[in-house]
Structure 1
Amino acid sequence: MPQHPALTDLLLRAARFPERGTATVWDGALKHFGVRINAGGAKTFIVLLGSGRRQAIGRYPVISLAQAREKAKTILAERTLGKHRPNNISWKKATNEYLDWIRENRRIHTHHEYARTLRRYFPFGETRVAEISTADVAKKLDKLKDTPSQKNHAAVYAKAFFNWAIRQEYLKDNPLQHYKQSKKTRRKRVLTDDELRAVWSAAGQIDGMFGSIVRLLILTGQRRGEIAALLRIYYSHNQQTVCLPGELTKNHLEHTFPVGPMASRMLMEQIVSPTRRGSEFLFPSRTSINRPFNGWSKCKKELDKLANIPHWTLHDIRRTFRTNLGRLRVRPDIAERLVNHASARTEMEETYDRYTYLPEMREAMESWEAFLRELVGELGQEQLAA
């Protein structure tokens, strides 16, 4: 490890944030002690336990530099004497450390999903991580047997946590090491015209942001997490486009797509809406303006009661959008671009074809909105009212 100046409060306050990801500033006064800084400005004290293994100590300035350095000395001394026993850590403390790591190294949406899943489905509390057995985890997962997809996602997130815990030496074996996911059944549900009309109508009857999110899903065909996490800067009123950064999209590719008059009006209404409370998000969480909307389950139940159609999911809207583009005779390659499928372009095309196809995509979006206006009648015309 190269020589570094000793960390000081002045140095910590003046430290520059990285443009993306994280950066580590090591302490010249104590080897293997430092602070990790992420692009959002969070500063977390860490101690290096071994090759690639770090232990978070706490956030600055919640914990002072002096306190963090003393804690690091204790950890390093105990490790040298063979007394460092990280497997005494509780589930609650370990998951908090893990979520801090996720926040620094993954996308914002990923952090929210991991936090929600681990805290909701695995409430082990103060139980030591090393004492959690395969049977304990299986018991929690069995409660999700009626929702196989949700069960599989929960198992994947828990397994990833346990793998991280092994690297931190919090336990020796992963309780989910031999867990086999339930076989996924590919959904083929496409909403009929009558069902799509019912969902559009029901979305208009729901108070708050959720109804607008659902209608934008119908209008744009994007993923629910992408629409819920829209920032003001992603929308260009002059160009009538939305640009989703790679950090937000599923395939990590930047996605620019045009929007029609109905979608544009809804976006502008949300931009000036007081429900944003000054947030950069167009649809902020009710509990924090620094997080995107996340009240899916409760709001979907309300929507289902109003729509009164056979079982469906929000993702079925995306499949309905893509299917109807084919029905409207939109070229398959243009339809695939609109939903940002990685299969839309080969690696060779990515290299040599630099054309954006925005005019073609705009024409497709105009056809889709014209179809919707005819389908929903007056329910659609209200979106174009002055």
Structure 2
Amino acid sequence: MAKLAFTELTIRNLKPGSYFDEKTPAFGIRVGKNRKTWIVVRGRERLRTRVGHYPALPLAEARKKALVLLGSPLDAHSLSTFADGRELFLRTHCAQHQRERTRKETERLLTKHFASLDRKKLSGITTGQITAILDGLLPTPSEAQHAFKVARTFFRWAEARGYCKNPCTMPAPSRDVARDRVLTDDELKRIYREAKGQFGQIVRLLILTGQRRGEIAALKWEYVDLDKGEISLPPEIVKNGRRHTFPIGPMVKKILQAMTASEGYLFPARRRQTPFAGFSAAKHGLDKVAGVVDWTLHDLRRTFATNLATLGVAPHVIERLLNHITGSLSPIALRYNKAKYDKEMQEALRTWETRLTAILAPSRIPRTSRRA
């Protein structure tokens, strides 16, 4: 069996026989009279697994699939602990099937909430142990839901590879009750005024733009165009995976112009080249000084949308600003209606900033008249 440096040109001109890649030794191709078949060779028994056929499956894609199948030099016997499995799961399944933002969230959930399982054998983890972990998250229903979904995906993957039986078979935790909290003008005023520092800038931008906290926290200067007066969020940081470009008003421009432009994130984490992530502690501090309770950062998005509707902004314009896929426009309308509504969005934001300026204005205390 010959070893070659696989390239598209090399593969195209191969004669019948079996060949293996110099870059990925266990990855090869079997060339017959009528077809070329990608293969990988795995395990001590040197079992061959078919990956696909060339040219329907190009070299680059075939190599990716082969690496996923090969996974790691660890076999089912040496891959014994939850920590080992988590590392391989992130490196193979998540790297191939998830966007970077989703992969990082998966890693966070598996590392933060299931660390007590790190040294336990995969085959020995029980349904009761996972249930106990999820029960501890019940005070935060949304986090419990996300942790459950990630754990379920991980153990299904592990079972499919023969590492263990899936112990994550319990019902999902109770869903979080949908929130309908809209902040009052007074609450919005107190939060905006007390929002200081890096976190404060994020909060103010959330109030002004109605975007998601993860999208604002992940802003880079390359997404911002102050001359055009717009921000363009790339698909990799947007929830629905679609580029989202929206206008910005004078108040947003003022916040951005006061910041020092540099490469990378507008709001970097401390000592790391990653987006700001200290939301919990920072919000706790803001709650204290603002005196506002029982609210979340996502409530600012709902408050933004509700105020725009009250101001008479059309529903489809609000949805464009929020980057919602569904809403007042039907799926068919969304497919054919490619209007960007730039002017309408600009006018909506000007109207909102005017309204917000009035909310933030100092309260006027009537003067007591003096008698002569």
TM-score scaled by length of structure 2: 0.77
How far apart are the structure 2 equivalents of 1:302 and 1:29? 52
Aligned mate of 2:189, from 190, 197, 218: 197
- Give the one of 319, 339, 358 matched to 1:374: 358
Q: How many residues end up aligned between the 2 structures?
A: 317
Aligned to 1:222: 211
Pick the structure with greater CA Rg: 2
Structure 1 segment 147-226 matched on structure 2, within 5 A: 147-173=140-166, 175-204=167-196, 207=197, 209-226=198-215
Alpha carbons 2:190, 2:290 under 8 Å: kept: yes
Q: Which moved more, 1:224-233 or 1:94-103?
A: 94-103
Give the whole-Å Cα distance in 2 for the aligned partners of 1:371 and 1:155: 42
Distance change >3 Å, CA 242–CA 170, structure 1 → 2:
same
Of 303, 314, 339 in structure 2, the residue corresponding to residue 355 of structure 1 is 339
Structure 1 residue 55, shift from structure 2 partner: 4.5
The residue that corresponds to 2:326 in the other structure is 343
Please tell me whether residue 89 in structure 1 is matched to residue 104 in structure 2.
Answer: no
Tell me which residue corresponds to 1:112: 104
Q: Does 1:329 align with 2:312?
A: yes
Give the equivalent residue in structure 2 for 1:17: none
CA distance in 1, matches of 2:210, 2:24: 54
> Match for residue 288 of structure 1?
272
Long gaps (5+) in structure 2? 8-19, 29-39, 44-48, 52-64, 364-372
* Aligned partner letter, 1:99: L
Cα separation, 1, equivalents of 2:165 and 2:228: 55
123-132 or 318-327, which deviates more: 123-132
Between the two proteins, what is the percent identity of the paired residues? 36
**1:5 and 2:4 equivalent?**
yes
- TM-score normalised by structure 1 residue count: 0.74
Letter in 1 for 2:216: I
SS in 2 for 1:270: coil
**How does 1:53-72 map onto structure 2 within 5 Å?**
54-57=69-72, 72=73
Unaligned runs of 5+ in 1: 12-24, 34-45, 58-71, 76-83, 273-277, 380-386
> Which digits, 9 at most, give the CA deviation of each residue in 1:35-65, with x for residues without a partner?
xxxxxxxxxxx986756653544xxxxxxxx
CA contact (8 A) 1:91 1:129 kept: yes
Which stretch shows the higher mean deviation, 101-110 or 221-230? 101-110
In structure 2, the CA distance between the partners of 1:377 and 1:332, relative to structure 1 (3 Å rule), is same
1:346 Cα deviation (Å)? 3.3
1:240 aligns with 2:226: no
Q: Aligned AA for 2:123? A: A
Per-residue Cα deviation, 1:156-211 (whole angstroms, up to 9, x for no partner): 111122122223322122x222322303311000000011111112213xx3x211
**Contact conserved, 1:87 with 1:129, CA < 8 A, in 2?**
no
